[in-house]
A = this chain, B = another copy of it.
């Protein structure tokens, strides 16, 4: 008898292969044929998991977003008061992090006339604001402007990510951390700065 097939593992493996192809060459690379070849499955197997290219993109996006959520949760589990450590997991650190952001870019480019994809994006943005709010609260306590601060930090993380993807040499992890520290101090108030606010001109 053949071994039972782990469909969830296959599906997830396929989504990550698709994410790789999209990140390296754009959405046009994510054909069932190319994904099958890269994943080592037949096109019949891949077609079983994804009805079409659009679904492949949605699952690749979700796999990238879930990967970030897992890193965020792990950072929070390791130290609930380490706000910077949690926020860093959103940034494109390492090849995997850069890949995630390139998949986001591809996804963002096709949401205009696709309410389902747009809703997916809206959900993850709201989720990001919610979990950042929790991380701020665990570090600095409850405050009236928690949601506004989370929104400002998310905006700053998104801008940093865009810069980092295109200029990784100028945005090494220590540069990102220094910039994050300074922005947290600015947005949450000087008193909230975990360390004296450093001059990060050199890091820019």
A interface vs B, CB < 8 Å? 22-28, 102, 105-106, 108-113, 118, 121-122, 125, 144-145, 147-148, 151-152, 154-160, 162-163, 165-167, 183, 186-187, 199-201, 204
Q: Please tell me if the beta carbons of A105 and B109 are within 8 angstroms of each other in the complex.
A: yes
How far is it, in angstroms, between the C-alpha of A158 and the C-alpha of B152 when the chains are bound? 12
Q: Please tell me if the beta carbons of A155 and B166 are within 8 angstroms of each other in the complex.
A: no
Chain B min CB distance to A192 (Å): 13
Chain B residues lying within 8 Å of A200, measured Cβ to Cβ, are 148
Q: Please tell me if the beta carbons of B25 and A166 are within 8 angstroms of each other in the complex.
A: no
Q: Which of B102, B118, B158 meets A162, CB within 8 Å?
A: B158
- Contact A24-B159, Cβ < 8 Å, known A151-B204, A201-B147: no
Smallest CB gap from A183: residue in B: B152
Most buried by B among A22, A27, A118, A159: A159
Q: Please tell me if the beta carbons of B148 and A22 are within 8 angstroms of each other in the complex.
A: no
How far is it, in angstroms, between the C-alpha of A172 and the C-alpha of B82 when the chains are bound? 34
